[in-house]
Every structure is written in structure tokens, then in C-alpha cells.
Amino acid sequence: MFIIIVLLLVIGAVLFCMKPSINTLRKARFKSFEHSYIAHRGLHDNAHGVPENSMLAFRRAISCGFGIELDVRLTADGQLAVIHDENLKGVCGVDVNVGQTSYEELKTYPLMGTDERIPLLSDVLNEIDGRVPLIIEIKADRVFEDICSLTAKALEDYGGDVCIQSFSPYAVEWFKKHTPDILRGQLSMNFFDARHKRKESFPIKLILTLMLYNFKAQPDYIAYDYIAYNSPVMYIMRNIFGAETAGWTMVSQRCIDDLAGSKFDIVIFEGFMPREKENILY
């Protein structure tokens, strides 16, 4: 009996820590995200001259009516650069770190050998101008206050549907404390999956996989690796908490057909043209 009581207490504590925000009024604000597929890093085609996280990729997404997901990193001179990787080897072919470089230098490097350059978040916000839903991923490491503060400031006068998300629960919590009106999402996945090559310790992987910081960060939605849609964690989020969920990053129409609606409320896709728009591109 004692063991059963202890086990129930542990389960209860875990569920308490995992629980996200389930505010009905805030959840209703996701309708535009649910009704527009979200193009991961814009509607890019790296192999054919449309680099990820480029103004061209964002314009193509807007022209097709897709929402946009993008990444922001802080430069050495305090600018919000729209780029996924910390190092530019992959997208620009140079061994340069974003956080150690000024934006003036960063913008001199071509993206994927094209005429496109790394944009600033302010440029992207002006381009989107509320025409499609926008998800901003905060690339925050141990130091997150500055990038969170600058992102929040950049969104002060933005009138479109927007939310922020991050793998860092501390960044998500920052927005809860300082700009609670902005919708916020907790990015997560199975951190033990060898595909992701994570280097965190076992306890940290467990905390991040189970999202045991939700009780403090109170995310409005959970953005989870779509491959793990049937994991116990996602079952709990969907069926016990009734959380808003986003699946990243779906790579085929079959993924959307199988998972949209029943497993995920929001579709984040990449690398193909969803069926309803397939006659426009690719």
C-alpha cells in the first residue's frame, strides 16, 4: 500500500509539472494558425534558389496564403537576425558565429549562393504586415533575457497574429512574466531519440522531454516533433490536458492527412507543397 501511495504521489507531481496553460479564451486565438498551414522557415526551396529564412521564402509563403515560422538569434551588436543555425557554414559557407558577429558583417554573406541575405526580424515583420499568421522561434541558450526582451519590443506595434516558441522553458517563462498577452509555445521532442544527437545529461533530457517546467512557463500550446505524435507525453497533452498542439515538421501530404486535426491542431510543414496549393509551386 505504501508503494502504491508513493507511486500515485509521484504521478500526480509529474502531471502537475507537465500541465500547460489551458485558458479557453487564449486557445481561441489560435484559429488563424489552425486554418493556415505554417511554412517552416518560410516557403523555401534551398535546392532551387529560395533559401530558408529568407525574404524570398517569406514572400512566397505570403503569396500562397501560408503562415510562417522563422528563427531569431541575437547578433554581437544586439540585432535580431532571422536565421536558424548559430554558425553560418550550412547556409553561407563561412565559419562565422551569429552571436559573435555584427549584423553589418552578417548581411554581407549570401544565403545559399543567392542574392538573398540574412534579414532582420523588423524587416520580416514589415513584409508580413499581419497578412498571415507568424510563429517566431526564440533561439535562446543560457542567456535568454536580451533576445526575449528585444523580440517583445519588436512586437509591440505589430498588429498581426503572432506567437513565440522556444526549446528553452526559461524563454517561454520570460514571456509569461513580462509580456503575457503574447501567445507562447513550448517546443519539445523526445530528447533521448538518437536522431536528434542531444548532448544534455539524462536528468535534463528527461525534464525537457516531459516538459516538467510547464507549471512555471505555462505555455499556451505544445509544439512537438510530429514523429512522436503517439508518445505518452503527447497522449497526456491531448487527452488529459486538452492542450493546443503543433506538429513540426511535417514532410509530406500524407503526414498532414494522417495527423492534422486528430493528433495536432497546427501544421508546420517543409519541403513540399500541400495539396491545396500544389499547382502554384514545386
Give yes or no: 48 in active site.
no
Q: 120 in helix, strand or coil? A: strand
Give yes or no: 35 in active site.
no
Closest residue by Cα to residue 246 from 22, 37, 82: 37
Cβ atoms of 119 and 54 within 8 Å: the answer is yes
Of the residues 44, 48, 84, 196, only one is catalytic, namely 84
SS3 track for 24-51: HHHHHHHHHHHHCCEEECCCCEHHHCEC
Cβ atoms of 20 and 243 within 8 Å: the answer is yes
Closest residue by Cα to residue 38 from 179, 248, 254, 203: 248
How far apart CA 220 and CA 229 sit, in angstroms, is 18
Of the residues 40, 44, 178, 196, only one is catalytic, namely 40
Cβ atoms of 217 and 173 within 8 Å: the answer is yes
Cβ atoms of 221 and 244 within 8 Å: the answer is yes
How far apart CA 244 and CA 242 sit, in angstroms, is 7
Catalytic residues: 40, 84
